[in-house]
Amino acid sequence: MYVLHYAPDNASLVIRLALEELAQPYRTRLVDRARRQQDSAAYRRLHPNGLIPVLETPDGPIFETAAILLWLSERHGALAPQPGKPQRGAFLKWLFFTSNTLHADMRLLFYPERHAGAAGCVAPFFAATRARVSRHLGLLEDTARDRPGWFSARDPSVLTLYACCLLRWLALYPEGRAGWFDLARLPALRALAAATEQRPSTRAAALAEGLGDRIFTRPELARPREGSAT
């Protein structure tokens, strides 16, 4: 059985959704961010950088969201074009674009005070990062509009799940600065999110982490049974 080290409404949500879609048995272990458990010696043995998530597997602990998703898709032969399939290359480039470019810039957007340097630089840093994220979303919107087989709510891939979670977080964070994001301006991604939030996997994850009913198209701050989203 897999063990998912998670915090509510963190990147571990993407992994939970994938496990639910795959109908794989798993247990969860809370990483309590309020108590900085991600910095504990025990957790650092699983993930030396102290980030969330980690998935314990028969091959050992795996970290990095995209790496876990890719491993799961290959292990179970689902949720992605498999090695040797014609769409494999296109799928991989967009999966890693989402992880290494879009998600990475979103982290800068959510914590501008940590990255901007001097206090007077926070506003221009936030504006420049927001512009980059908007460009990234435009590229992803174009891909979703073209409707490749692996970017669908009817037959979702790990990229579908990942992208929908990022749309959720853009609508919520950073608190007080999130009003710039309007999902209605991304109709293909909005349609994808609306369909995906109706899937049984999404409903199960939302119930487990206290995320509400329309977790992608009308998200609310998490009200988890345990732990903290921030």
Reported confidence tier of residue 154, pLDDT bands at 50, 70, 90: confident
Q: How far apart are CA 223 and CA 230, in angstroms?
A: 11
What was the pLDDT predicted at 97?
Answer: 98
Which residue is associated with the tokens 């921030």?
230
CATH no. of 88-199: 1.20.1050.10
The runs of H, that is alpha helices, within the chain are: 12-22, 41-46, 65-76, 88-97, 104-110, 112-115, 122-146, 158-172, 187-196, 200-209
Q: How far apart are CA 88 and CA 73, in angstroms?
A: 12
Average pLDDT over residues 163-192: 95
Render pLDDT for 108-147 as a digit per residue (tens, 0 to 9): 999 999 998 888 899 999 999 999 999 999 999 999 998 8
Q: Look over the chain and give the mean of its residue pLDDT values, rounded to a whole number.
A: 95
Average pLDDT over residues 172-177: 92
What was the pLDDT predicted at 118?
Answer: 85
Q: Kindly list the domain boundaries of the chain, sorted by start residue.
A: 88-199
Render pLDDT for 15-58 as a digit per residue (tens, 0 to 9): 999 999 999 999 999 999 989 999 999 999 999 999 999 999 99
pTM of the model: 0.96
